[in-house]
């Protein structure tokens, strides 16, 4: 994937321009990308923009993530309207930066903000918030969204979807590689090599990424996140606490599986081990970093990855990445930047690409990733 800034249409190749939007489980910003996609479905990142989350919206949504079923419907509507306005601001800033007009964009692919993800409930469901009709009107651009619910209805987990773009961008036939996306939750993609007898893409959530560390840091230090893992680096990993956390059944469950912050949160931490409330807070932070490092690396080793490429916010935590390297020196853990795409923008490119797939009525291969029964076209369309 190139980093060209040429935004001139090329009618001979039938290139089209899409915007991708993602607000992840860390809720630090809305990531927006302008992507050119050729007629074969190959995306090229042109421009990117990160729109910081206003504290007022964070203060509304973060408590709702702890008990999402208890939030009243009127509050949900207000959140959806506020998110549409925020996402529209991100789109406007991206277009100003790129000097591209709204009428040059085919569609916006918008993931929305996950409120609740319960694929294992008696009646499975998943909820991503944003008033996409309002977003389409505010931007003057068609919006493709609601990418998860069709797969959940078909018996799938609805997540992770990141393996789809990892496969499109990063497949390397010579070796079996893993792509680890470390956002609030971490997910692994395993891309097969030509030596593999089973060529299916494997993808699943490994467990906590940055989310638990961020929440613990916010409670005890007041900031949004532990920059570079500096606070965690001052603490000591407490083995007894770590073992109690690792005892959770989620970590031993086979793929496909997915989870979210409605499960791995501070309530889970306190319930899983009373030690979290008695140990020094800095030691708990160090232990949470170790939890993410161990669970991500164990997953990569379990699926015999020969190289591991990291994207998402966790790629910028040198203490976390260094610990992952120490746990698996054979894996050569690196950023996706060495493959041609900076780690911050991979997921946003995914949703631009999924919008392209929807517009071309192209089914995506979900069964080996989410457990859904069929490959299918995913998404819904809101007209500007």
Residues 76-109 have pLDDT tens digits of 899 999 999 999 999 999 999 999 999 999 999 9
> Bigger pLDDT: 327 or 200?
327
Mean pLDDT for 185-206 is 88
Query: Cα separations (Å) of 204 from 97, 180, 216, 365, 370?
Result: 35, 10, 24, 14, 7
Residue 286 has pLDDT above 50, yes or no: yes
Interatomic CA distance for residues 323 and 315, integer angstroms: 12
| Lowest mean pLDDT segment, chosen from 184-198, 199-213, 272-286, 341-355 | 184-198
Q: What is the span of the domain harbouring residue 314?
A: 162-339
| Lowest mean pLDDT segment, chosen from 54-58, 300-304, 368-372 | 54-58
Residues 103-154 have pLDDT tens digits of 999 999 999 999 889 999 999 999 999 999 999 999 999 999 999 999 999 9
pLDDT given for residue 332 in this prediction: 87
Beta-carbon neighbour count of residue 8 at 10 Å?
7
Give yes or no for a contact between 141 and 108, defined as CB atoms under 8 angstroms apart.
yes
Residue 292 has pLDDT above 70, yes or no: yes
User: Does 271 map to a domain?
Assistant: yes
Judgement on whether residues 251 and 373 belong to the same structural domain of the protein: no
User: Does 6 map to a domain?
Assistant: no
User: Does 4 map to a domain?
Assistant: no
pLDDT given for residue 13 in this prediction: 47
Judgement on whether residues 322 and 200 belong to the same structural domain of the protein: yes
User: Does 1 map to a domain?
Assistant: no
What is the average pLDDT score of the chain? 92
pLDDT given for residue 46 in this prediction: 97
Give yes or no for a contact between 138 and 85, defined as CB atoms under 8 angstroms apart.
yes
Burial status of residue 195 (CB atoms within 10 A of its CB: 0-12, 13-18, 19 or more) = exposed
pLDDT above 90 covers what percent of the chain?
80
User: Does 2 map to a domain?
Assistant: no
Interatomic CA distance for residues 121 and 366, integer angstroms: 20
Query: Where are the strands (E) in the chain, listed by range?
Result: 16-23, 29-37, 43-52, 107-118, 125-129, 143-145, 177-182, 185-191, 202-208, 307-311, 333-335, 380-382
User: Phi first, then psi: what are they for 5, rounded to 5°?
Assistant: -110, 15
Judgement on whether residues 239 and 365 belong to the same structural domain of the protein: no
Judgement on whether residues 21 and 71 belong to the same structural domain of the protein: yes
Judgement on whether residues 224 and 286 belong to the same structural domain of the protein: yes
User: Does 66 map to a domain?
Assistant: yes
Judgement on whether residues 108 and 239 belong to the same structural domain of the protein: no
Q: Does residue 362 have a cis peptide bond before it, meaning omega lies within 30 degrees of 0?
A: no
- The H-or-E segment that residue 266 falls in is helix 266-272
User: Does 75 map to a domain?
Assistant: yes
Give yes or no for a contact between 218 and 62, defined as CB atoms under 8 angstroms apart.
no
Q: Does residue 112 have a cis peptide bond before it, meaning omega lies within 30 degrees of 0?
A: no
Interatomic CA distance for residues 204 and 258, integer angstroms: 6
Judgement on whether residues 292 and 240 belong to the same structural domain of the protein: yes
Mean pLDDT for 271-290 is 97
Q: Count of domains in the chain?
A: 2
pLDDT given for residue 8 in this prediction: 38
Judgement on whether residues 233 and 281 belong to the same structural domain of the protein: yes
Judgement on whether residues 306 and 174 belong to the same structural domain of the protein: yes
pLDDT given for residue 2 in this prediction: 40
Token digits of residue 137: 């009107």
User: Does 257 map to a domain?
Assistant: yes
Mean pLDDT for 198-219 is 92
Judgement on whether residues 198 and 316 belong to the same structural domain of the protein: yes
Judgement on whether residues 125 and 204 belong to the same structural domain of the protein: no
The closest of 293, 289, 290, 287 to 310, measured between CA atoms, is 293
pLDDT given for residue 14 in this prediction: 67
Judgement on whether residues 220 and 293 belong to the same structural domain of the protein: yes
pLDDT given for residue 252 in this prediction: 96
Interatomic CA distance for residues 325 and 343, integer angstroms: 17
Mean pLDDT for 309-329 is 97
CATH of the domain at 115: 3.30.420.40
């Amino acid at each position: 994937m190139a980093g060209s800034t040429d935004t001139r249409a090329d009618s001979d190749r039938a290139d089209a321009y899409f915007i991708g939007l993602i607000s992840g489980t860390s809720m630090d910003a809305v990531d927006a990308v302008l992507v050119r996609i050729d007629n074969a479905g190959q995306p090229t990142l042109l421009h990117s923009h990160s729109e910081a989350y206003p504290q007022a919206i964070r203060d509304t949504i973060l408590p709702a993530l702890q008990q999402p079923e208890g939030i009243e419907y009127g509050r949900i509507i207000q959140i959806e309207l506020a998110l549409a306005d925020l996402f529209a601001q991100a789109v406007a800033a991206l277009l100003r930066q790129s000097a591209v007009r709204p009428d040059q964009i085919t569609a916006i692919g918008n993931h929305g903000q996950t409120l609740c993800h319960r694929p294992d409930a008696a009646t499975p469901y998943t909820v991503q918030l944003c008033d996409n009709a309002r977003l389409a009107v505010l931007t003057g651009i068609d919006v493709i969204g609601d990418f998860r619910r069709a797969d959940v209805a078909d018996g799938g987990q609805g997540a992770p979807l990141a393996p789809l773009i990892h496969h499109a961008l990063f497949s390397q036939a010579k070796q079996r590689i893993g792509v680890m996306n470390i956002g609030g939750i971490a997910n692994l993609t395993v891309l097969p090599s030509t030596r593999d007898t089973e060529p299916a893409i494997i993808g699943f959530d490994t467990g906590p990424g940055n989310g638990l560390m961020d929440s613990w840091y916010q409670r005890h230090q007041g900031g949004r996140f532990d920059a570079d893992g500096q606070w965690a680096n001052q603490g000591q990993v407490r083995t007894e606490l770590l073992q109690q956390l690792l005892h959770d059944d989620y970590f031993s469950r086979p793929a496909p599986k997915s989870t979210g912050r409605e499960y791995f949160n501070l309530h889970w931490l306190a319930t899983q081990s009373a030690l979290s409330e008695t140990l020094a807070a800095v030691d708990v932070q160090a232990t949470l970093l170790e939890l993410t490092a161990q669970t991500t690396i164990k997953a990569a080793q379990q699926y015999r990855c020969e190289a591991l490429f990291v994207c998402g916010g966790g790629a910028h935590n040198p203490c976390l990445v260094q610990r992952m390297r120490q746990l698996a020196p054979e894996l050569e853990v690196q950023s996706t930047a060495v493959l041609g795409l900076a780690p911050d923008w991979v997921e946003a490119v995914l949703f631009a690409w999924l919008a392209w797939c929807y517009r071309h009525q192209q089914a995506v291969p979900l069964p080996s990733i989410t457990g859904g029964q069929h490959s299918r076209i995913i998404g819904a369309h809101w007209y500007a």
